[in-house]
Amino acid sequence: MAQNFSLKDQLFNAEKTCYLAGLFAGADPSFDANSFQAQVMSRLLDLELKERMAWIAECLQQAVPGDVTQIAPTLLRALPPPLDPSKTDDDFGDFIFAPLGEWVVAVGIDHPAQALDVLEELTQRFSMEWAIRPFLNAHQDLVLSRMNEWCAHDSYHVRRLVSEGTRPRLPWGQAVGLDLTDPLPLLNRLHADGTRYVTRSVANHLNDITKKDPDLVLDRLQDWDTRGQQDQDELDWMTSHTLRGLVKAGHPRAMKALGFDPDAKVSADVTIKREARIGDALEFDVVLNGKDQQPVLVDYIVHFQRPGGKTSAKVHKLKQALLKDGGLTLSKKHKLKGDATTFKLVPGAHRLEVQVNGKLRAGVDFELLA
């Protein structure tokens, strides 16, 4: 990412505000586009990203007053055509429509049936995964019933909303008062979807659940495999994506579900090739030995020194392979960025470990130099 890049300025700015104002002016001749733009821009640049969403929603609520039953005709007329229905992935939509979801929450929470109709249309322009969650909390039975209908919707964006909107740990999303099992009947219907955009959401939803109940997820994946409703390659991908957190943690049953035996007799040696220095790289070799054609999933763990004397372990993928002639040699160059803003490296004693099929097999201490 380029230095000084601002996501909030890319997503919410004068140009995007002008675009939104133009849509509403086209839908309602009484809509004062210039006044709306001036009001939005009077504060927009001083706000953070989510605050900008809330502010634009507030300005829309003032410009088009009324509850959702009154504003819906204008809002729906203002929308551009739905996102390309021929795509199957990576078509999240335009972020400038996110404030419309917050607007619908503000004026529609007491009119849930009409609000859900509007969100069904909005999510085909930009995902309404955040906006649906207040309705889940206030009108759980109604929303789950509507979501059951949405599982068969023609638009994969609406189908994805069912899974994404009910996730236990949705980034940026309001917490929802659902039991982990409440959305499972919906996921049962969605897991065989033909679009990766939906199946990725299902896998992310299950990955959220693994933080609380790994066996619930593993049982569900096993059930889906038995049903045979999803293409096997896609289900294998979903399983791998779902279990990524458990794999890093070395969860034995997750390893077995992916075809890797935690108890396999595999030995490992790890050698650091040269001194490690901040701004350079940690270079190392791993030599594995074991039964010929033994499947192995190899991760490496770096225990970083932290300010105050504590350590922080980070797990990284290394290789998924078969042992050939009973052995395998792997080499890795792990970059040690000195200018990263999210994780500051600290010189001092560090440790490198190798994990094979979820079990630690080797480790070596090293000094990270400034």
* Predicted confidence (pLDDT) per residue in 62-72, tens digit: 999 999 999 99
Give me the DSSP letters along 256-318. Answer: HHTT--TT---EEEEEE-S-EETTSEEEEEEEEE-STT-EEEEEEEEEEE-TTS-EEEEEEEE
pLDDT at residue 213 is higher than 70: yes
pLDDT averaged over every residue in the chain: 95
Structure tokens at 168: 């236990």
Answer whether residue 216 shows pLDDT above 70.
Answer: yes
State the Cα–Cα distance between residues 133 and 176, nearest whole angstrom. Answer: 6
* Across 119-131, average pLDDT: 97
pLDDT at 338: 84
Is 200's pLDDT higher than 80?
Answer: yes
Token pair belonging to 159: 């189908």
Q: What is the pLDDT of residues 275-285, one digit of tens each?
A: 999 999 999 99
Same topology between domain 66-242 and domain 267-369:
no
H-helix or E-strand containing 142? Answer: helix 140-150
How does pLDDT run across 81-111, given as a tens digit for each residue?
999 888 888 778 999 999 999 999 999 999 9
Q: According to the model, what pLDDT value does residue 4 have?
A: 59
Q: Which tokens in the block code for residue 138?
A: 């206030």
Residue 331 neighbours by CB under 8 Å, 6+ apart: 283, 284, 285, 286
164 pLDDT above the threshold of 80: yes
The whole-number pLDDT of residue 286 equals: 98
Spatial neighbors of 289 by CB under 8 A, at least 6 apart, are 266, 267, 268, 323, 326, 327
Asked if 279 and 290 count as a contact pair (C-beta separation under 8 A), the reply is no
Residues of the chain with pLDDT > 70, as a percent, come to: 99
How long a stretch of residues is the chain? Answer: 370
- Predicted confidence at residue 194, as pLDDT, reads 95
Question: Residues 346-370: what's their mean pLDDT?
Answer: 96
Q: Are 166 and 182 in contact (CB under 8 A)?
A: yes
- In the chain, where are the structural domains located? 66-242, 267-369
**Res 1: pLDDT:** 39
Separation CA 202–CA 232 (nearest Å): 15
- From the options 3.30.1490.20, 3.30.1360.40, 1.25.40.290, 3.40.50.150, give the CATH code of 66-242: 1.25.40.290
Supply 81's token pair: 């055509």
For 138, phi then psi, to 5°, come to: -90, -30
The closest alpha carbon to 75, from 139, 138, 24, belongs to 24
Q: What angle do CA 50, 56, 61 make, to 5 degrees?
A: 130
Q: Report the pLDDT averaged over residues 224-242.
A: 97
pLDDT at 3 over 60: no
pLDDT, one tens digit per residue, over 258-317 is 999 999 999 999 999 999 999 999 999 999 999 999 999 999 999 999 888 789 999 999
Mean pLDDT over residues 336-340, rounded? 85
CATH code of the region 267-369: 2.60.40.10
